[in-house]
Structure formats: structure tokens, C-alpha cells
């Protein structure tokens, strides 16, 4: 593997790799083996100050970044996408090594991420305000301006993709960025930082500071020179991010949090197709997916047959080394995650759900979990209420449309939902009634650069992707000019 100039024991600030002020480092592991891959520089409050100062200088009036034509920002984003495609194997290798997702999935994630930069590259010179015919003898126009220094805090389940979802709109609009990757998966973020320098982004526009949440993450969110925080992660920490904003400068916040998303299968569905959609909805990325279809509601007429086929399908998953092309499920991210999944599986058994397949750890090295299917799940069970974030399918039975709408919405979350049916009336009725930010009909997890993504209720607010995500990085200025009378 060629890692070129990357220094994992340094932070990336102002287009250079620099030591953490404390010289502290933290270990990063391969979840397939539990063995250490690298020691990584650990940022704390002091480094946060330095990184935010660099991002602030890069955003200052008259800086190269502020003077740059919007179309030139687009060229830089396209160049960054080119470099990702050039280095796709290196990035995918590191992603799989550090995160445990299959190499095939990592390749797909890097390509999809490069495509997101291309989408935003085209948007840079198409952001504009309005001319407004106001009352009285005056005219008004609005401009859309970048909000300033943004802090971005991302999780470990899609390290490169989450970074791209955040950098795309931030760099498109002309903001400057300080990103804190998850402590489990900082390696590809440092590689990506280096590529922004090679692409030609000016000093200080992109800064990457690995570190822990309660130290580096909290200091970033509390910083008075940060104008916005974009966060993806748990609902628990989402609450804290809002608190940090309230305690400091009321910075703008967007939150993409957890979910317990329903996927509803009606009797009239093609059974094999429905089993396959539901399978991918929950087992993709080993279940470590914020929008995972983690409550499979199946109508009573096909329930037994569906459970049988779904259990067979889950049993076909080959668990093991994510670099092996025949393997379709690698390890979970870490020991706490493994323990949480097994605890919830236990609770399912104790609360009376029927374990059809799986439910155990695989091997003693690394953090592998056997693909698990529960039937006879009811709404009150923990496995129907809590985010498991693992390869565990919970199958619930329903009878009527009205009933399933009520039950689908009976959660504090509202990130995504799916419905599988040939009846367009049922599909539309469900899509209109369900409280979720993304609704997929006869498909699931269909996410593109063009479609806004983000939740309702405790799944957070603000959108990633699409043109809508730009709003979170922009402020509107209204200029009113009195006309001569
Ligand atoms: P987490 O929410 O603690 O971590 C996500 C990011 O937030 C990481 O970069 C972390 O360092 C940072 N962070 C943690 N505490 C912070 C603080 N006080 N201030 C600022 N930043 C902070 O999620 P964790 O612990 O990795 O996973 C726990 C559970 O959360 C998972 O089992 C899953 O249920 C859920 N989760 C949901 C994700 C999603 O995509 N919506 C992603 C990751 C986790
Ligand atoms: Mg946490």
C-alpha cells in the first residue's frame, strides 16, 4: 500500500501535517483482528484553537478562498473527485482495514463519494439570491453568503462517505472546515485531507483533527469562532451538540441522528423481491446504518412464508475477512458495539421473540456477529424500540394499513421508511402518513447526491445531500436600495 506523505501521527492543519500540541497519540484498530493498525495524533482543546484559527484566517476578507470565483471552487471539487478516483484502491483498502466493511463496499463508497463532490462542483456557481419587488420606492435583493468556519463531526460507519456528505456542501458554498473524524476511523480522513492539498485548496480551508468526542469534539462545538456544527452520530450526543451551541455563541446546528426505521411489506408484494429488499435494508454495512430498515413489518397473509425465506436468506451471508471477495459481512466496528448487539439479542430472547437464525458471536478474534433474524417481535420489545446498529432483523406481523401506519410512527425516531406493495393507493397512503425524512417505495436505501437526506423527530434536523443541504451552510443577506423619488 502506498500512503505517500500521510502522517497518521500528525493532525492536518493549514495544509500541513503538524504534531498535536500535547504530543498525545491514540491507537486505532483493525476490527477484523482487534490488532492495532496505527498510532494517531490526538487533538485536544489547544489544537482545536489552532485549527479554528487557520480556518478563520482562510475565511477572512480578501483571502484567496474568499476572492476565488465560485466556478473555480467547482474546479477544485472536480479535481478532488479525480484524485479520489485515481487513489480509489488505496482509499478502499484503508477503509476496509480500519472499518471492516467489505472491500467491494468500500470501493462503491469511494466512487459514490467522488460522485457527490462532482454534484456539488456543478452547484458552486449556481447559488444566488432574489431580486424582490418590495413595497414603496425601493428595491431589494438578497445574497447567499457562506456562513463561515464550520465544525463537522462524523461517525465511523461510513468514514469517507460521511466526510464527503459534509465537505461537499461546505466547500461548494465557500465555507472553511474543521473536521473531527470518529476516533475509531480517522485514517481515510487524513488521506482525504492530503488530497485536498494536492487538488489545490488554499491553506486553512480544510483541517482534519482526529481525537475523542468529549475533548476535541466538545471544544470544537463550544468554540466561539465556529459558526455552524454539522453532526452525524447518536441521538444521545445530538442532545449535547445543541447544548454546546446554547452555551456558546448560538452557532447553527444540523443533526443527523439515529433511527428505528420501518419497512412495510404488504401481502400483494412479490415475495422473493420483498425478502431481498428487506434483507439489504437491514444487513447492508452489517446493520451499522443510520437508516437501516430495522423493523420489518409483514402483512399476516404472507408472514410465515416471509419469515422462512428471510431466515434462509440471512443464513446465506458469508461472514469473515472483508478482503475475501466471497465474504459479504465483515466485523462490527469494536468491542462495545459487539457487546451492545449481543445484549439486545439476549433481551429479544428473554422478552419472547423467536430467534430464527444467528444470535451469537462468530470466532474469538475481531468483532463478528452471526446474521440474526427474530420473528414474533412485538412493538414493546427492546429489539423493536432501540437502535441495535448490528445485523439483526426484527420481523413484526400486521393486518391493516391503518394499523401499520400507527405502529410505524410509534417511535421517537423518524429517519427513513419503506413500503413494498403493488397497490399504488397503499404505497401513497403510507408515504404520506409516515413520519420519516426519506420514504422508499419498492426499494430501500436508494440514496443519491441529488436527494436530500435527514430525519424528523429525534432523528435530527437539517439535510445532507441535494441542493437543500446548501441552506445549512448559507446565510441570507437582504440589501434594500431606496430609489430616487
Ligand atoms: P457517538 O454519537 O458517540 O459518536 C459519533 C461522533 O461524535 C464521533 O466522532 C464521536 O467522537 C463524536 N462525539 C462523541 N461524544 C461527543 C461529544 N461529547 N461532543 C462532540 N462530539 C462527540 O456514537 P458512538 O458512540 O460511536 O455509537 C453509539 C451508538 O450511536 C451506535 O451504536 C448507534 O446506535 C448510534 N450511531 C448512529 C450513527 C448514525 O449514522 N446516525 C453513527 C454512529 C453511531
Ligand atoms: Mg459514543
Inter-residue contact 4 to 195 (CB < 8 Å): no
29 and 154 share a domain?
yes
Report how far residue 58's alpha carbon sits from residue 478's, in angstroms, rounded to the nearest whole number: 25
Which ligand lies nearest to the CA atom of residue 288 in the structure?
A: 1
87 and 203 share a domain?
yes
Question: 253: domain CATH number?
Answer: 3.40.605.10
Non-local (6+) Cβ contacts of 384 within 8 A are: 260, 295, 377, 378, 394, 396
Question: Residue 427 domain-assigned?
Answer: yes
373 and 267 share a domain?
yes
Residue ranges lining ligand 1, Cβ < 6 Å: 153-157, 180, 182-183, 212-214, 217-218, 221, 232-234, 237, 240, 256-258, 290, 337, 340, 387, 389
Question: Residue 233 domain-assigned?
Answer: yes
Question: Residue 217 domain-assigned?
Answer: yes
Q: How many domains does the chain have?
A: 2
Report how far residue 32's alpha carbon sits from residue 331's, in angstroms, rounded to the nearest whole number: 6
229 and 290 share a domain?
no
252 and 378 share a domain?
no
Q: Known catalytic residues?
A: 256, 290
267 and 416 share a domain?
yes
Question: Residue 6 domain-assigned?
Answer: no
Q: Which helix (H) or strand (E) holds 74?
A: helix 70-86
pLDDT at 5 over 90: no
pLDDT digit string, tens, across residues 175-221: 999 999 999 999 999 999 999 999 999 999 999 999 999 999 999 99
Reported as a pLDDT band with limits 50, 70 and 90, residue 140 is very high
Q: What is the pLDDT of residue 393?
A: 98
Q: Where are the alpha helices (DSSP H) in 124-186?
A: 159-173
133 and 173 share a domain?
yes
17 and 94 share a domain?
yes
pLDDT digit string, tens, across residues 6-61: 679 999 999 999 999 999 999 999 999 999 999 999 999 999 999 999 999 999 99
Inter-residue contact 371 to 357 (CB < 8 Å): yes
Please identify, by atom number, the ligand 1 atom nearest to the C-alpha of residue 336: 32
pLDDT digit string, tens, across residues 47-99: 999 999 999 999 999 999 999 999 999 999 999 999 999 999 999 999 999 99
Say if residue 453 is exposed, middle or buried (CB neighbours under 10 Å; 0-12, 13-18, 19+).
buried
Please identify, by atom number, the ligand 1 atom nearest to the C-alpha of residue 256: 41
pLDDT over 70, % of the chain: 99
Q: How far is CA 159 from CA 41, 289, 300, 377, 404, in A?
A: 17, 12, 39, 32, 34
Question: Residue 454 domain-assigned?
Answer: no
In this prediction, residues 129-155 reach a mean pLDDT of 97
Q: What is the pLDDT of residue 485?
A: 80
Say if residue 278 is exposed, middle or buried (CB neighbours under 10 Å; 0-12, 13-18, 19+).
buried
157 and 242 share a domain?
yes
Say if residue 44 is exposed, middle or buried (CB neighbours under 10 Å; 0-12, 13-18, 19+).
middle
Question: Residue 76 domain-assigned?
Answer: yes
346 and 470 share a domain?
no
Q: What is the pLDDT of residue 2?
A: 43
Question: Residue 120 domain-assigned?
Answer: yes
Question: 295: domain CATH number?
Answer: 3.40.309.10
pLDDT digit string, tens, across residues 211-258: 999 999 999 999 999 999 999 999 999 999 999 999 999 999 999 999
Question: Residue 4 domain-assigned?
Answer: no
287 and 217 share a domain?
no
pLDDT at 1 over 50: no
| Lowest pLDDT segment from 3-17, 125-139, 308-322 | 3-17
- Please tell me whether the overall predicted TM-score, pTM, comes out greater than 0.85 for this model: yes
234 C-alpha to center of ligand 2: Å? 7
pLDDT digit string, tens, across residues 339-388: 999 999 999 999 999 999 999 999 999 999 999 999 999 999 999 999 99
Ligand 1 pocket mutation, candidates 222, 234, 386, 389, criterion most atoms within 8 A of CB: 234
In this prediction, residues 314-325 reach a mean pLDDT of 98
208 and 352 share a domain?
no
Tell me which residue range forms the domain holding 170.
Answer: 11-257+459-478
Amino acid at each position: 500500500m502506498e500512503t505517500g506523505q500521510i502522517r497518521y501521527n500528525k493532525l492536518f492543519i493549514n495544509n500541513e501535517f503538524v504534531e498535536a500540541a500535547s504530543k498525545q497519540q491514540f491507537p486505532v484498530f483493525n476490527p477484523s483482528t482487534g490488532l492495532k493498525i496505527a498510532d494517531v495524533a490526538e487533538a485536544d482543546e489547544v489544537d482545536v484553537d489552532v485549527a479554528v484559527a487557520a480556518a478563520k484566517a482562510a475565511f477572512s476578507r480578501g483571502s484567496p478562498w474568499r476572492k476565488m470565483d465560485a466556478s473555480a471552487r467547482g474546479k477544485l471539487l472536480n479535481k478532488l473527485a479525480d484524485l479520489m478516483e485515481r487513489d480509489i484502491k488505496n482509499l478502499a483498502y484503508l477503509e476496509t482495514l480500519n472499518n471492516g466493511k467489505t472491500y467491494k463496499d468500500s470501493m462503491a463508497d469511494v466512487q459514490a463519494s467522488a460522485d457527490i463532490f462532482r454534484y456539488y462542483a456543478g452547484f458552486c456557481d449556481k447559488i444566488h439570491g432574489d431580486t424582490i419587488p418590495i413595497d414603496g420606492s425601493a428595491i431589494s435583493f438578497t445574497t447567499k453568503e457562506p456562513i463561515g468556519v464550520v465544525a463537522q463531526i462524523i461517525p465511523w460507519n461510513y468514514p469517507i462517505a460521511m466526510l464527503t456528505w459534509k465537505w461537499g456542501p461546505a466547500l461548494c458554498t465557500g465555507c472553511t472546515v474543521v473536521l473531527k473524524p470518529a476516533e475509531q476511523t480517522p485514517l481515510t480522513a487524513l488521506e482525504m485531507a492530503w488530497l485536498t492539498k494536492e487538488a489545490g485548496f488554499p491553506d486553512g480551508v480544510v483541517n482534519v483533527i482526529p481525537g475523542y468526542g468529549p475533548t476535541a469534539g466538545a471544544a470544537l462545538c463550544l468554540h466561539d469562532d465556529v459558526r455552524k456544527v454539522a453532526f452525524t452520530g447518536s441521538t444521545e450526543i445530538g442532545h449535547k451538540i445543541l447544548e454546546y451551541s446554547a452555551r456558546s455563541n448560538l452557532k447553527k446546528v444540523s443533526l443527523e441522528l439515529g433511527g428505528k426505521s420501518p419497512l412495510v411489506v404488504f401481502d400483494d408484494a412479490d415475495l422473493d423481491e420483498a425478502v431481498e429488499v428487506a434483507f439489504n435494508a437491514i444487513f447492508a454495512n452489517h446493520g451499522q446504518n443510520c437508516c437501516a430498515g430495522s423493523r420489518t413489518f409483514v402483512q399476516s397473509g404472507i408472514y410465515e412464508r416471509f419469515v422462512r425465506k428471510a431466515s434462509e436468506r440471512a443464513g446465506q451471508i458469508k461472514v469473515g475477512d472483508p478482503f475475501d471477495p466471497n465474504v459479504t459481512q465483515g466485523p462490527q466496528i469494536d468491542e462495545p458495539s459487539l457487546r451492545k448487539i449481543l445484549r439486545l439479542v439476549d433481551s429479544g430472547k428473554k422478552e419472547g421473540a423467536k430467534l430464527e437464525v444467528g444470535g451469537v458471536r462468530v470466532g474469538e478474534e475481531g468483532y463478528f456477529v452471526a446474521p440474526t433474524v427474530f420473528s414474533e417481535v412485538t412493538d414493546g420489545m427492546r429489539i423493536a424500540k432501540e437502535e441495535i446498529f448490528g445485523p439483526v432483523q426484527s420481523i413484526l406481523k400486521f393486518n391493516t394499513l391503518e394499523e401499520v401506519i400507527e405502529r410505524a410512527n410509534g417511535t421517537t425516531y423518524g429517519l427513513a421508511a419503506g413500503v413494498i406493495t403493488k397497490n399504488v393507493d397503499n404505497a401513497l397512503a403510507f408515504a404520506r402518513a409516515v413520519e420519516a425524512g426519506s420514504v422508499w417505495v419498492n426499494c430501500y436505501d436508494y440514496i443519491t447526491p441529488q436527494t436530500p437526506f435527514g430525519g424528523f423527530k429525534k432523528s435530527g434536523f437539517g439535510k445532507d445531500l441535494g441542493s437543500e443541504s446548501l441552506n445549512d451552510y448559507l446565510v441570507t443577506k437582504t440589501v434594500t436600495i431606496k430609489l430616487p423619488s
